């Protein structure tokens, strides 16, 4: 790879990461709901440019190919494209297929890039800090101001519809950050926190360690203010496992756990409302809706499991003609089976499983960092059991693919970096 192209790709990856949480987009084709509207995001444009540059660099080298990963990746794309032919809305299916192809390309690009591990990690931490800044502002103001160029819709605590926490003192708006929902923001903050602990495991200099401690505190505060039960539970599990698998990261683990504990006590009336769903109507309604989703998903599974309904089609096929279903199933594995079919879903998770398996056999020289990468993948997969955003929100889907590529790069499962 020529030096200018290498520099452009390395810089472009950082720009792409910084853009990922922002929902700046152009509405290309309106849909029946948010999940079937075809948008062109700012990070889509950057990723396309990066993938073209990566393809040029790949063509100019004689880098050996990891044939198993290549076959799995092409298999996913072919099976998904095949299932899209009988989709109810082929335009939406092709739209989602392009993002799936972009995600797989992102895995390959990151795993072969010459970007430093720490550069990618710090970029993720920076995005988390920016999100927390917005979160703190929204929490203090108890409102989300509409911003057309940032893709933000207005959210007011007293209105029906926004995500809120209800207590005897009134309605409290959950912080949205720059994402469509607080749960999505919480998932991104978990990624940023994982990046912070992963960076710490590299034995950074004293000044960077101090900065990481501050970042961890701020990110933990942001996570609490989203009031996402699944993300908070996932992060507590990560901290618990991390305490036993490493000694290096214990200062950061204690700081994050302490911050969450103290702020949780201060905000206990709101936290308890989320932890005890029977106390409020809103929490009961959330559980009722998700239970109904699983009942409907069971019917769709037996109808579509062999071939799939087509990628991105869940809210189309699961739609009452009078009352459109606005939410996909809050379980990514089941959602992918319904959309891609059994074989497409198996190919996708075989692709992920291969990367995880290779990371687990990393040499002992870098065992601590690779443990945190694998733990990060486990956290994302765990969260995907309770929501759909790692599949339907392209910011988080690409964030997950970025983490996959980073794990693959670190484990050196693919060929050597482009030279």
Report whether 328 contacts 392 (CB < 8 A).
Answer: yes
- Helix H or strand E segment including 25: strand 25-29
CA–CA dist 150, 233 (Å, integer): 29
| Higher-pLDDT residue of 2, 356 | 356
Domain regions of the chain by residue span: 3-137+181-411
Gap between the terminal Cα atoms of the chain:
5
What sign does the dihedral 207-212-217-222 (CA atoms) show? positive
pLDDT at residue 14 above 90?
Answer: yes
Gyration radius of the chain's alpha carbons: 21
Nearest CA to 396 among 255, 208, 163, 228? 228
Model pLDDT, residue 169? 75
pLDDT of residue 134: 95
- Model confidence pLDDT, tens digit, residues 178-215: 999 999 999 999 999 999 999 998 888 989 999 999 99
Decide if 35 contacts 140 (C-beta within 8 A).
no
Contact 413, 358 (CB under 8 A): yes
Encoded tokens for 211: 């900065």
Q: Strand ranges (DSSP E) for 119-159? A: 143-144, 155-156
Classify residue 260 as left (phi > 0), alpha (psi -120 to 50) or beta: alpha
Query: In sequence order, what are the beta bridge partners of 171?
Result: 166
3-class DSSP assignment, residue 143? strand
What kind and span of H or E run contains 127?
Answer: helix 117-141
Backbone angles phi and psi of 316, in degrees to 5: -90, -50
Lowest-confidence range among 45-54, 146-155, 192-201, 391-400?
Answer: 146-155
| Cα dihedral sign, 341-343-344-350 | positive
Q: Write down the pLDDT at residue 418.
A: 35
**What's the pTM value of the predicted model, to 2 decimals?**
0.92
81: which 2 tokens? Answer: 């494209």
Say how far apart CA 66 and CA 58 lie, in whole Å.
13
Which of 205-240 are b and which e, b meaning 16 or more Cβ less than 10 Å from the residue's Cβ?
A: eeebeebbbebbbbbbbbbbbbbbbbbbebbeebbe
More confident residue, 331 or 287: 331
Find which of 61-70, 124-133, 320-329 is predicted with most confidence, using mean pLDDT. 124-133
Give the separation between CA 380 and CA 103, rounded to whole angstroms. 15
In this predicted model, what pLDDT tens digit does every residue of 352-377 receive, in sequence order?
Answer: 999 888 887 764 455 677 888 889 99
* Integer angstrom CA distances of residue 222 from 15, 186, 328, 351, 396: 23, 8, 26, 32, 17
Rounded CA separation 62/54 (Å): 14
CA 117 to chain centre: 19
Q: What is the DSSP letter of 36?
A: T
pLDDT of 55-85, one tens digit each? Answer: 888 777 766 778 888 899 999 999 998 888 8
Burial of 183 from C-beta contacts in 10 A (0-12 / 13-18 / 19+): buried
Cβ partners under 8 Å of residue 406, min gap 6: 110, 111, 117, 120, 373
The tokens of 53 are what? 């540059």
For residue 45, count other CB atoms closer than 10 A to its CB. Answer: 13
The residue count for the chain: 419
What token pair was written down for 21? 């949480």
């Amino acid at each position: 790879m020529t030096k200018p192209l290498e520099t452009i790709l390395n810089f472009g990856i950082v720009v792409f990461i910084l853009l990922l949480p922002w929902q700046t987009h152009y509405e290309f084709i309106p849909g029946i709901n948010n999940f079937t509207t075809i948008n062109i995001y700012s990070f889509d444009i950057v990723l396309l440019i990066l993938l073209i540059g990566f393809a040029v660099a790949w063509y100019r080298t004689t880098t050996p190919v990891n044939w198993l990963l290549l076959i799995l990746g092409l298999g996913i794309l072919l099976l998904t494209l095949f299932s899209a032919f009988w989709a109810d809305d082929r335009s939406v299916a092709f739209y989602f297929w392009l993002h799936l192809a972009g995600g797989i390309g992102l895995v390959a690009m990151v795993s072969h890039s010459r970007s430093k591990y720490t550069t990618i990690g710090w970029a993720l931490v920076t995005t988390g800090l920016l999100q927390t800044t917005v979160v703190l502002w929204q929490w203090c103001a108890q409102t989300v101001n509409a911003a057309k160029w940032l893709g933000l819709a207005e959210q007011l605590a007293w209105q029906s519809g926004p995500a809120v926490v209800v207590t005897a003192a009134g309605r409290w708006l959950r912080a949205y950050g720059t994402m469509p929902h607080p749960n999505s923001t919480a998932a991104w903050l978990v990624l940023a926190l994982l990046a912070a602990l992963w960076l710490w495991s590299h034995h950074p200099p004293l000044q960077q360690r101090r900065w990481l401690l501050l970042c961890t505190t701020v990110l933990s505060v942001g996570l609490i203010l989203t009031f996402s039960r699944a993300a908070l539970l996932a992060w507590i599990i990560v901290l618990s496992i991390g305490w036993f698998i490493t000694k290096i990261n214990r200062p950061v683990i204690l700081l994050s756990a302490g911050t969450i504990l103290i702020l949780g006590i201060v905000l206990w009336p709101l936290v308890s409302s989320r932890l005890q769903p029977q106390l409020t109507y809103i929490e009961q309604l959330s559980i009722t809706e998700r239970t109904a989703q699983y009942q409907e998903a069971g019917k769709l599974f037996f109808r579509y499991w062999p071939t799939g309904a087509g990628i991105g089609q869940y809210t189309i096929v699961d739609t009452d003609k009078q009352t459109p279903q606005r939410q996909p199933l809050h379980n990514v594995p089941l959602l992918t089976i319904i959309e891609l079919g059994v074989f497409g879903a198996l190919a996708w998770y075989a692709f992920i499983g291969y990367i995880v398996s290779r990371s687990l056999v990393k040499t002992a020289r870098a065992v601590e960092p690779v443990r945190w990468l694998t733990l990060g993948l486990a956290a994302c997969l765990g969260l995907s059991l309770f929501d759909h955003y790692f599949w339907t929100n392209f910011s988080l889907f690409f964030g997950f693919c970025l983490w996959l590529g980073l794990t693959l790069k670190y484990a050196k499962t693919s060929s050597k970096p482009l030279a």
